[in-house]
Amino acid sequence: MTSAATTAGDVRRALRDRTEIALLDVRPEARFAEGHPLFAASFPLGRLEIEAFDRLPRRSVPIVVYGDGTDATTAIQRLRSLGYPQVSELAGGLAGWDGELFRDVNAPSKAFGELVEACAGTPAVDPAELSARLGRDVVVLDARRFEEYHTMSIPTATSVPGAELVLRAGALARPGALIVVNCAGRTRSIIGAQSLINAGLRNVVALRNGTIGWTLAGLTLERGQQRRAPDVPAAQARRARMAARAVARKAGVRHISRAEVRREQRTVYRFDVRSPGEYAAGHLPGFRSAPGGQLVQETDWFAPVRGALVVLAEDTGGRAAMTASWLAQMGWEVVLLRVAGHLVSGPWQPTRPALPAVPLIGPDELDTGLRAGRARLIDIDTSRQFLAGHIPGAAWALRSDLPCGRLVLTSEDGTLAAFAAAEVGGTALAGGTAGWAASGRPLQAGQGEMLSAPEDAYRRPYEGTGVDPAAMQAYLDWEYGLVAQLERDGTHGFAVLT
């Protein structure tokens, strides 16, 4: 696929044949969410340099891109400058895609979740029925990330992120109790409940439509809860591991040796699906932290190359095996690697390219310039990060909207700022916003000067609080139609265990 353009038919053929390919949508995320092919990955042009090496780890991978206007041409140039030779444009751009378009984000995983419910018959309970039963031998397990659970949750729920369910549910559920698994909408509720059922647990249901359904039913959510699942004894972890391995074997998951991994001639993704804390305490070199529930939920973000090999580091509680069983059903070749030998500690660190040679300014000099009104500082990281905490006096802009001139640019760690400064003839803040904070200077949260519309971030209808009920219902209606879209699309390759 080294020609100037690659047709939609070529892409679909590669997807059906499970040959290696990455289809990248380089528009801002909000535009991506308006409609895209099923396996297109959101890969915003403005963030390409800091995401490429980790999301596209093999430089010779075949890549097809599309975007708005000249975005695809710019993306091809940037990718080639980073060492990716096999990059082409989708013929005709998005308008040239003559198949199904899927809205929202993480569409492959969400469509798969709907297919699981349809094929496996995952049982569910309505919010009103659950509300009436709370406190009467009912255990509610929230399968989302802890941060999402902490923002708002079903009353009495305990945080048990998806991959932890099979390991920890037994420590929370009393004999004979109804186990209810919830997320914000549908996908993680369905996958979580079906994980427990596949592992042999009974009396398990999903909360129909999650916290969205709870809200639409006029019920009240809790805020700021801290309940977490306890540690489990070794015997329970052993039982969970055996159950998860049995499900993984049924899905066709196998073990692999390190030598086999080294011999691979295609993209290889290496993930550790345990909690971030366990990962930081000790993990295999080269493995990325990807808690299992989120990996299944966000496959298009963690692994945009279809046809790649996914290697999961095995753990003692069966979390990798259960995660692998789901990835296998989603059409991935996924294998387990036994953990042995030297481990490294610390959080995951992204791989960054070498910075271009641009003028740099330190926090002290920038602080003086801002106070004197001599510096014009623009933050080009995501609008979410800007609103969460930015340098006082900074404005925010999309990288594509930057004017040329005497600008000081900043981003989270300074990498994006350096690449953007090279394009517009500006100066980059050494160490970025993190370097400013590390110098002991404050960050300012909340609204600041916005020079661009924040279309880099798509607001999920299940995200945070204060979401319009009409948007929630529209989101559910969209999910209900995903199975029919999969049938019309014909490229998914999903195979649900029943």
**Does 120 lie in the same domain as 100?**
no
What are the helix and strand counts (H, E) for the chain? 22, 22
Look at residue 43 and tell me if it is in a domain. yes
Residues 84 and 131 in one domain: no
pLDDT of residue 400: 93
Q: Give the model's pLDDT for residue 305.
A: 98
88 and 128 in a common domain: no
pTM for this entry: 0.95
Residue 301 domain-assigned (yes or no): yes
Tell me the per-residue pLDDT of 295-313, one tens digit each, with 9 for 90 and over.
999 999 999 999 999 999 9
Write 245-251 long-range contacts (CB < 8 A, 24+): 245/318, 245/321, 247/198, 247/199, 247/321, 247/322, 247/325, 247/497, 248/321, 248/322, 248/324, 248/325, 248/328, 248/336, 250/325, 250/497, 251/324, 251/325, 251/326, 251/328, 251/329, 251/497
> What is the Cα–Cα distance from 105 to 36, expressed in whole angstroms?
9
Could you tell me if 115 and 223 lie in one domain? yes
Burial of 233 (0-12, 13-18, 19+ CB in 10 A): exposed
Instruction: Specify whether 157 is located in the same domain as 89.
Output: no
If asked whether residues 148 and 70 sit together in one domain, one would say no
Q: Residue type for 278, please?
A: E
In a domain, 466, yes or no: no
- Two structure tokens written together for 141: 């397990």
Per-residue DSSP letter, 424: H
Asked if residue 128 and residue 95 are part of one domain, the reply reads no
Mean pLDDT of all residues in 43-51 = 97
How confident is the model over 396-430, as pLDDT tens digits? Answer: 999 999 987 789 999 999 999 999 999 999 999 99
Specify the number of domains making up the chain. 4
Q: What share of the chain is helix, strand, coil (3-state, %, to 5)?
A: 40, 15, 45
For the chain, the average pLDDT equals: 95
Task: Please tell me whether residues 218 and 317 are part of one structural domain.
Answer: no
* CATH number (domain holding residue 404): 3.40.250.10
Is residue 489 situated within a structural domain?
Answer: no
pLDDT digits (tens, 9 = 90+) for 330-375: 999 999 999 988 999 999 999 999 999 999 999 999 999 999 988 8
Confidence of residue 2 (pLDDT cuts 50, 70, 90): very low
319 and 365, same domain (yes or no): no
Whether the pLDDT of residue 1 is over 60: the answer is no
Residue 3 has pLDDT above 80, yes or no: no
Integer-rounded Cα radius of gyration of the chain: 23
pLDDT (mean) for 172-183: 93
Q: Give me the domain span that covers residue 21.
A: 5-104
Residue 313 lies in a domain: yes
* Closest C-alpha among 162, 179, 161 to residue 170: 179
User: Residues 377, 436: one domain?
Assistant: yes
* Tens digits of residue pLDDT in 444-478: 999 899 999 999 999 888 776 777 899 999 999 99
**Residue 259: inside a domain, yes or no?**
yes
Name the DSSP class of 394. Answer: -
**70 domain residue, yes or no:** yes
Give the orientation angle of helix 71-81 with respect to helix 48-55, to 10 degrees: 60
151 and 203 co-located in one domain: yes
Q: Is residue 159, in this structure, part of any structural domain at all?
A: yes
Distance of CA 59 to the CA centre of its chain: 22
